[in-house]
Amino acid sequence: MKWPALKASELEESGDLFVQDGNHGEYRPRPDEFVRDGVPFIRAGDMREGRIVFDSAERINTNAFARIRKGIAHPGDIILTSNGTVGVVAVASDEYETFVCSPQTTFWRVKPDAKNLDRRYLYAFLRSPEFRPQMSALMNQTDMAPYLSLTDQRKMLVRLPPIHIQRRLGGIIGALDEKIICNRRMNEILEAMARVLFTHWFMDGDGDT
């Protein structure tokens, strides 16, 4: 049995999903409105290992934030890069209550009362072999840099198993993601230790101590 698929726009109409592109146009923050402490302004470069690295993000002041009308994201939102570097996916942690998505990004928000869509499953699906070809087919329609418009994103299909299967799949894949991240960080620590030992033994001339 093949599970049904709905367009993102249909999931919006059913009240399960909300898709919105990043802040752009006349409401974009001006250069003088970027400050040391303020509301995070998330770009593609701030997304790594499926997470938003808020420490690296620029910030905007309260005047800029008050003017913004779209691209305001919240914890749990799934962020998708949609311009230039297309297809990087990350989930927002609860480190900040709100942040602003740059014009290069879009957020996919599973509604709190969604009945047909699980957030962890959607995060997995947006990285899946079924979703990726849809992006590839749409993002290179012009001679300009790769771009996935909001209109095109709303046309994209999301495969929908029954909700209890979505939750199970989301939980399993989420646990595997965490394991992969932990292993990668452990490897980085071990590589750093190896470099220190190499330097100590062979570069500093202490190999016989």
Chain centroid offset of residue 68 CA: 20
Question: What residues does each domain of the chain span?
Answer: 5-161
Query: Which of the four pLDDT bands, split at 50, 70 and 90, describes residue 206?
Result: low
Q: Tens of pLDDT along 142-152?
A: 667 889 999 99
Q: Which two tokens stand for residue 79?
A: 């962020």
Q: Tens of pLDDT along 50-73?
A: 999 999 999 999 999 999 989 999
- Determine the pLDDT at residue 183: 77
- Determine the pLDDT at residue 37: 93
Q: Is domain 5-161 given the CATH code 3.90.220.20 in the classification?
A: yes
- Of 169 and 190, the structure prediction assigns the larger pLDDT to 169
Please report, to the nearest 10 degrees, the dihedral formed by the alpha carbons of residues 127, 133, 139, 144 taken in order: 110
Phi and psi angles of residue 48, each rounded to the nearest 5 degrees, phi first: -145, 140
From CA 28, how far away is CA 65, in angstroms rounded?
9
From CA 4, how far away is CA 125, in angstroms rounded?
14
Q: Which two tokens stand for residue 93?
A: 């942690």
From CA 195, how far away is CA 26, in angstroms rounded?
49
